[in-house]
Amino acid sequence: MKKLSGISLSILGLLMLSIISCNRSDEPTPTSGSALNNINVPDGFTFNTTEDIQVQLQIVGDGSAKFERAKFFIFLGDPDVSGVQIASGGVNDNGIYQTIISIPEILDSLYISSNITGMSLGMVAIEGNTINHQFNFSSKALLPTGSRSFDFTDIISDFENGLDDWAPYRDVSIFTSSESNTPLSAGPMGSTDSFIWGFDTKGGIRSFLAPAKFTGDMYGQYIAYHYYLGNTVAARPVQNNIADIRITDGTNVLAIDLSSTFQHEVNAGWQTIYCKLDETETSGSGWRIGSMSTWTTGSGSSTTPGTYASTTQIIQILQNVTGILIAPEYQNGYYSSNGPEFICLGKVGVVADVTTFPIIQQGQTMDDNDEDGVPNSTDDYPDDANKAYNNFSPGEGVYATLAYEDLWPQKGDYDFNDLVIDYNYNVITNASNKVVDVVGDFIVKASGAGFLNGFAVELPVSPSTISSITGQVLSGSTFTLASNGTEAGQTNSVIPLFDDAHTLFNTTGFINTVPSHAYYNPVSINLQISFNGSFDISALGTAPYNPFIVANQLREFEVHLAGMQNTNLVDLNLFGTGDDDSNTGQLKYYQTINNLPWAIHLPVNFDYPIESNSIETAYLKFVEWAESGGSQSPNWYMDEAGYRNSNYIYPTPD
């Protein structure tokens, strides 16, 4: 209680500071600084801007498929349109990849791709709080003869992850489709053509399917025709012995398919290289598939049908090719009967200098330096057997923000800048998708506070699971650490990051919240948490986990996000005092009687208000969002027209 009165004095002091600050002639004055006190926030609304999504992707093969290398990637949006990666991992023995991710509530779909061509979905709608998809290759192989109906969602392909070292060759500008997202009933040969064409959800990826019945005598053993690029769906005559140069990511094979008797295994992930012949060899402009019968390939032309070309032979053949167009392909045929095949011309690449193109010999085993079972090409840590995959929050290379009011249990001025800290977490998983390390990349942007505030995060796992922590910046005695770097006396792992934001900047007073004051470069802190053994990612939950500030170095004063619980070391007597209306029975934590929070979490790099300007003066849709319980203007924090009054937002220097 002594400390309560002490803090009350401090509050008074800070309020006076705020008033003085407000009256500075060179700063804007809030138009309605206390407007938040009167808003009606529905009970149960905790100002969440993110939601957890359960993801399960399963590959169902027919027993002979080779999916050991299958790795899934989840992006917040189309990676071609700046979507960043959020999660990745490999499939287990049952072909299942499972994870849990936290994403902005405003998203209704995610981009899912795989290194296995043919198992990429593109943009996928979120159903409720789940994304659940089965890639049923088994049923495709058993496609009944004559059937034209087909679920096209599985054959949308994404080449970029399917081929080692391919990225430099990628050229998405080659092909742009304006076709509608509707499979056509007939292929390029017209109504007698029973190839089926498909378009992806963006209309930009084109695939086709050769039903089994058309791969018999009439068309030879293999896809008999393709079409020219450039949005012209031009048929070319049926030809046998089409030459495909193929690379598979299933077993790292590159082979030339020269033969009508080439026997495909059931295998996803074949890639086709379309060779550009010199212009006299093309009937029309653009790229076409090369037919070996018309090539002049020097000494490489005598490759025997039905055999694999050696690297030397491939190079010889390629020497007379002026360029290569690469497109992804998915082959799903039986040994003997030839199943459907899909070729995706939406994401293609060009190799201008074929001599530099990586060639992997048939039969060569995949490179796996650290022998963790994850090949180098999909191993984010190819030289560390303990680590395999990255899982970023809020996404690779981007940051989310935590913004605090520090006067709890008293209300503050709602400028949400008393501590402003950005985070990017990377949960590193091993070959079994189990958590082994967590890396927290923090950027302390502002400390618009008189208080000396510390910051910590609670993870929902026992402290004994943590082996070591590095990167903490602790100068005082606010936190008492156990030998592994977690806070002593806690049931869950509490990881103090720093105990005084001001010390980080080596200064006092408002830091980066008053435009007329000197600007301090944000302070980066890199936290590394290593665990004993490994555990399921679901046990860790999702970022931001349970972050909180310790106000003014008084350990018993914790300020959490609304709805998040205190740790063992809070003074429980503080709940229900001042403006706090926490009610553990109703699981109400850190909210006022009209449900206002002391902290907010934004899934973006948040542009926070100027000192003492209540958030709704800067963010004009904030009140609407809060009063609607999150349903109206859920993107209130974005920089949309009419959403902001930049006069009240701290102008961070470039």
Interaction site with Ca ion (CB under 5 A): 368, 370, 372, 374, 379, 381, 384, 388, 405, 412-413, 415, 417-418, 448
Report residue 112 as tokens. 């899912």
Q: Is there a contact between 194 and 187 (Cβ–Cβ < 8 Å)?
A: yes
Nearer to Ca ion, 418 or 558 (CB): 418
Nearer to Ca ion, 313 or 447 (CB): 447
Instruction: State in angstroms the smallest separation of the CB of 164 from Ca ion.
Output: 13
Q: Is 651 left (phi over 0), alpha (psi -120 to 50) or beta?
A: beta
Instruction: State in angstroms the smallest separation of the CB of 590 from Ca ion.
Output: 15
Instruction: State in angstroms the smallest separation of the CB of 615 from Ca ion.
Output: 10
DSSP structural state of residue 164: T
Nearer to Ca ion, 328 or 412 (CB): 412
Q: Which residue is nearest to Ca ion (CB)?
A: 448
β 50-60/130-136 pair status? parallel
Nearer to Ca ion, 200 or 379 (CB): 379
Report residue 526 as tokens. 């890199």
Residue type, 39: I
Report residue 620 as tokens. 């004009």
Peptide bond into 30 cis (omega under 30): no
Nearer to Ca ion, 36 or 345 (CB): 36
Instruction: State in angstroms the smallest separation of the CB of 85 from Ca ion.
Output: 17
Closest-CA residue to 647 (of 617, 602, 606): 617
DSSP string covering 241-269, please? SB-EEEEETTTTEEEEE--TT--PPEES-
Instruction: State in angstroms the smallest separation of the CB of 35 from Ca ion.
Output: 15
DSSP string covering 312-373, please? HHHHHHHHT-SEEEEEEEEEE--TTT---EEE--SS-EEES-GGGS----TTPPPP-TT-SS
DSSP structural state of residue 644: B
Nearer to Ca ion, 345 or 523 (CB): 523
Report residue 169 as tokens. 């060759």
Nearer to Ca ion, 379 or 441 (CB): 379
Nearer to Ca ion, 426 or 490 (CB): 426
Instruction: State in angstroms the smallest separation of the CB of 56 from Ca ion.
Output: 24
Nearer to Ca ion, 208 or 414 (CB): 414
Distance between CA atoms of 331 and 364, rounded to whole angstroms? 20
Q: Is there a contact between 176 and 229 (Cβ–Cβ < 8 Å)?
A: no
Give the SS3 label for residue 537: helix
Instruction: State in angstroms the smallest separation of the CB of 450 from Ca ion.
Output: 9
Instruction: State in angstroms the smallest separation of the CB of 68 from Ca ion.
Output: 12
Tallying the residues shown for the chain, one arrives at 654
Instruction: State in angstroms the smallest separation of the CB of 418 from Ca ion.
Output: 4
Give the SS3 label for residue 540: helix
